[in-house]
Chains A and B, each alone.
Chain A
Amino acid sequence: MPVTFRIPTYLAAFAGGQNLLRVEGSPATVQEALQSLWQIHPALRDRIVDEQGEVRQHINIFVGEDAIRFADGLATKVPEGTEILIVPAVSGG
């Protein structure tokens, strides 16, 4: 079952201008889904995670309506047909 990512406008510039990205396969976790996403759009990787593979501090990832930060992080399960949202946090100055 493919997974759909919804990404912000800034990142769309590095993904062929698309805000909705479809990843084929059946990733069980957010980590697996992101790995598939990097293969299609490698420019997204460095902008979403750091060198250690950690999601950048001011980026929130939601599986459906649940923030993975308050679930199991990158090990959070991806239920079939769920959309993954990548959202910049309210931060800055």
Chain B
Amino acid sequence: MKISGTEAKIPGSPLPEEIMPAVHHISAKKGDVIVLVGTMKGAFVLRSNGARKKWEVGGPYSVGSPVYAMAFDQRQGRHRLWWAQQSFRWGTVLCSSDDYGKTVTEPETYSVKFPEESKLALKNIWQICIGRADEPGTLYCGVEPACLFVSRDAGKTWSPVEGMLNHPHRAKWQPGGGGLCLHTIAPDPVDPKKMLIAISTAGCYRTDDGGATWQARNQGVRAQFLPDQYPEFGQCVHKIARDPRQPNRLYLQNHWGLYRSDDGGNSWQDIANGVPSDFGFCMVAHPHESGTAYIVPIESDEYRCTPEGKLRVYRTRNAGKSWEPLTRGLPQKNALETVLRDSMATDTCDPAGIYFGTRSGKVYGSSDNGNSWQAILEGLPPVVCVRAALVDGDGTGSPQRHGSAEKGKSRTKMRSASSRVSPKRSARARARKR
């Protein structure tokens, strides 16, 4: 069902000025890096130059509202921020801004809504996913109760994906601690008909036919809270990340368990090799280096804090055969932190920036692939979402090298096209093999 609505231009926020905290707006130029931070009390937009050492803080936006999902759409020359403004009282609405928050568009009529006949009502939007570069009008939302919504007109109107809305497993899906949320959306970079999503607690599903049907893809993923620990579906998948160079390679952080798939999710192998705990929430892949991924292990499901009071990011550079702790610049004493499923992100620079936020309101960043870290911001409300982007990158995720980072001057250099995954070229290569 498509819902069209009029839109109201609301400067900054609909809250009256007398109760507004001071709002600062950033502006960004080509080569800058922005980090979007969604918290339980509003959204922030951080900006730095290519050095990524000093940060300017914009916001807060949607003051007082949980913001679980944010995204930045740079296709077709846009600089459009998207975020989901949730309210205990007024429901959840998708907001956008084309000027980094100076002017916020909040639709008069909510754009992401279940059809009346579904008997469902939207609780929250957990994920906003910008579509492929060759589909510049396409965006996706993952919502609670679990469903996938799609927009084909750059976010003006949205409709639920029927194959997910009417999925035969729906009646048996159970909510996790955060609710029955569709929190991961991973479009296939090569085949537009393929997409992988994840739901807590239903597990991983994949469509190969453009969303008409969805098959559970959880073989090998444990559900230790169920009598049958390897069911077809029902796993509590926390996050899935896709390898930047091998589209069929995926990394999965489970509610207990770290896994890798080399066949697009058909089967999963345990890769919890040398981590202090295989419990955790977040999981991101390096934007360019195949085999490299990052996690922040959590002690257990009963004690959801970083083990031993040490805030450690773990990195694998060999697709999970081994993991190394990254601690330089991170507190290693009395750091009882939690990093939630969407609170970690990468930019597309080279070296890559890695960012994460904690439930205690701290944001950390690395501008050297995770080798060293700095505290970017403290004292925020609990962080539930982090996203990062290079402004006016080419939109392909190909690396943008920042060579003189120390002096705060950036120069951008593209790697040759032959060194990155090209969907068209890959498709041609496969065709040749056949």
A-to-B contact residues, CB < 8 Å: 9-11, 13-14, 42-43, 45-48, 50-54, 56, 58-59, 88-89, 91-92
Within 8 A of A (CB), among B89-121: 89-91, 93, 108-110, 113-116, 118-121
How distant is B392 from chain A, measured CB to nearest CB, in Å? 34
How distant is A89 from chain B, measured CB to nearest CB, in Å? 7
Chain B residues, Cβ within 8 Å of A46:
91, 93, 109-110, 113
Are A51 and B114 CB-contacts (below 8 A) given A14-B108, A56-B90, A59-B89? yes
Chain B residues, Cβ within 8 Å of A54:
121
Chain A residues, Cβ within 8 Å of B16:
9, 13
Are A51 and B89 CB-contacts (below 8 A) given A13-B14, A14-B108? no
- Measured CA separation A59–B89 after assembly (Å): 6
Q: A89: nearest residue on chain B (CB-CB)? A: B89
How distant is A83 from chain B, measured CB to nearest CB, in Å? 20
Q: B119: nearest residue on chain A (CB-CB)? A: A52
Say whether B303 faces chain A, with CB atoms less than 8 Å apart.
Answer: no
Q: DSSP class of A's interface residues: helix, strand, loop or mixed? A: loop
Tally of chain B residues near chain A (CB < 8 A) = 23
Q: Does A10 lie within 8 Å of B113, measured CB to CB?
A: no
Chain A residues, Cβ within 8 Å of B114:
51
Chain B residues, Cβ within 8 Å of A91:
88-89
- Measured CA separation A10–B109 after assembly (Å): 15
Chain B residues, Cβ within 8 Å of A48:
90
Q: A53: nearest residue on chain B (CB-CB)? A: B116
- Choice from A10, A14, A50, A92 contacting B91 with Cβ under 8 Å: A50
How distant is A86 from chain B, measured CB to nearest CB, in Å? 10
Say whether B10 faces chain A, with CB atoms less than 8 Å apart.
Answer: yes
Chain B residues, Cβ within 8 Å of A59:
89-90
- Measured CA separation A47–B109 after assembly (Å): 9
B-to-A contact residues, CB < 8 Å: 6, 8, 10, 14-16, 88-91, 93, 108-110, 113-116, 118-122
Chain B residues, Cβ within 8 Å of A10:
14-15, 89-90
How many A-B pairs with Cβ below 8 Å?
56
How distant is A40 from chain B, measured CB to nearest CB, in Å? 13
Chain A residues, Cβ within 8 Å of B8:
14, 43
Instruction: Among B89, B108, B121, find the residue whose CB has the most chain A CB atoms closer than 10 A.
Output: B89
Chain A residues, Cβ within 8 Å of B14:
10, 13-14
Chain A residues, Cβ within 8 Å of B15:
10
Chain A residues, Cβ within 8 Å of B116:
51-53
- Measured CA separation A65–B236 after assembly (Å): 46
Q: A11: nearest residue on chain B (CB-CB)? A: B90
- Choice from A9, A14, A43, A88 contacting B89 with Cβ under 8 Å: A88
- Measured CA separation A3–B216 after assembly (Å): 53
- Measured CA separation A51–B119 after assembly (Å): 8
- Measured CA separation A37–B143 after assembly (Å): 29
How distant is A51 from chain B, measured CB to nearest CB, in Å? 5
How distant is A65 from chain B, measured CB to nearest CB, in Å? 21
How distant is A52 from chain B, measured CB to nearest CB, in Å? 5
How distant is B64 from chain A, measured CB to nearest CB, in Å? 8
Q: Does B90 lie within 8 Å of A51, measured CB to CB?
A: no
- Measured CA separation A54–B91 after assembly (Å): 12
Q: A57: nearest residue on chain B (CB-CB)? A: B88
Instruction: Among A45, A47, A51, find the residue whose CB has the most chain B CB atoms closer than 10 A.
Output: A51
Are A56 and B108 CB-contacts (below 8 A) given A51-B114, A51-B121, A51-B122? no
